[in-house]
Amino acid sequence: MGDFKSYKMSVPTYGAIMLDPDMKYCLLVQGFYTKASWGFPKGKINAEESPEDCAVREVLEETGFDVKDLLKPDKYLESQWNDQLTRLYVINGVPLTTKFQPRTRKEIKSLQWFPIDALPAHKKDLTSKMQLNMNPNCFFMVIPFVKPLRKWIYNKNNPQEAQRPKSANSSTFKAKIQDGQEQMGLRSRIKQQQYFTVQNQTEVRELLTYKEQVLKGPDEHTRSVSPKKDGCQKGQSETNLGYSSNPKQEKNKYQILNRNGTIAGKPRRSLATQFDKGAFPGDQDQMMSKSSDRSGFCPEAWKNFKFDMEPILACLPSDRRSLA
């Protein structure tokens, strides 16, 4: 039984990719038992049968259309998967108004024209999901042929591009890759510069806010905002100061509940309420001394800064190193 399965999976399959005259649509068939799987009409070759005859026979059985006069032996696409060869002959010029009628029973459920640009090129391509509202897994048997088919159609529509030497095409392709890499590097550098600029501006703004709080003293808890700044910057500066001018933005007051159900402590008041009433708990002189202490301020960029003493001492002369 295992030998039969391996033989069955190794038998080559042949079929056809049927295109309309404009080469914008291709015909796909849906299996009778697989509800959502679409593929090209194809089948396994019989003993002592040529690949061209096998493709013509399978297409005739699954679609009812005879492609014997349109098939050209040198126009095909191949794909190798799990030691099984699949060759599909490209047949263009089939009208979209052609009526197809499968000749086999319980093998083909449906036939439909699909736009080639809407087919997924890989399993994570969401083009079919956006344009056809169909999952890419519905075309898992079509995906290996989408990119080669699009390239074949492009060469067919642009014969001058196809006749160019490979060296010229490869050099042009490499130049495009280099240009794309340079653009990506420039974009990343610009983003990095913008990030550090915003970070430095934030630190400078925090330092200025701290200085204004120290100079104004405890009686003044509001600071003037330049009218040139927009509302977003104003709201951000108020948030950095620890209060909000809008009473609706005050935080809710919570109470701590003990295990026996009693309430411990008093509800915590927001900073805005304390500032409005002008009341400061504790000693005001102690609060002033803490607010005037500038040593507590440290920018975010300097928190992890420290000296590496060993390289510094290694740079000093031996006589000074002993003193250090």
Q: For 152-170, what is each residue's pLDDT tens digit?
A: 999 999 887 766 665 545 4
pLDDT for 279: 46
**For residue 9, what pLDDT band results from cuts at 50, 70 and 90?**
confident
| Token pair belonging to 70 | 């349109």
Amino acid (one-letter) located at 205: R
Query: 244 pLDDT band (50/70/90 cuts)?
Result: very low
Give the model's pLDDT for residue 218.
Answer: 56
User: What pLDDT is attached to residue 165?
Assistant: 61
pLDDT at 309: 79
Contact, 194 vs 202, CB < 8 A? no
Average pLDDT, the chain: 74
pLDDT at 233 over 70: no
Span 87-100, pLDDT tens digits: 999 999 999 999 99
Does residue 234 surpass a pLDDT of 80? Answer: no
The DSSP result for 24-85, as a single string, is -EEEEEEESS-SS-EE-SEEEPPTT--HHHHHHHHHHHHHS---TTT--TT-EEEEEETTEE
H/E run at residue 275: helix 271-277
When pLDDT is cut at 50, 70 and 90, the band that residue 177 belongs to is low
* pLDDT exceeds 90 at position 281: no
pLDDT band at 59 (very low <50, low <70, confident <90, very high): very high
The answer to whether residues 220 and 275 touch, using CB atoms and an 8 Å cutoff, is: no
Q: How many CA atoms lie within 13 A of 217 on its CB side?
A: 4
pLDDT at 251: 47
Q: What is the pLDDT of residues 183-216, one digit of tens each?
A: 666 677 777 777 667 767 777 788 788 778 777 7
Higher pLDDT, 101 or 302: 101
| Better-scored residue on pLDDT, 197 or 44 | 44
Q: Which domains does the chain have, with CATH numbers?
A: 2-162 (3.90.79.10), 182-224 (no CATH)
pLDDT of 48 over the 60 cut: yes
Total-model pTM: 0.50
- pLDDT for 141-152, tens place per residue? 999 999 999 999
The pLDDT value recorded for residue 296 is: 58
Q: Look at 314 and 243; give whichever has higher pLDDT.
A: 314
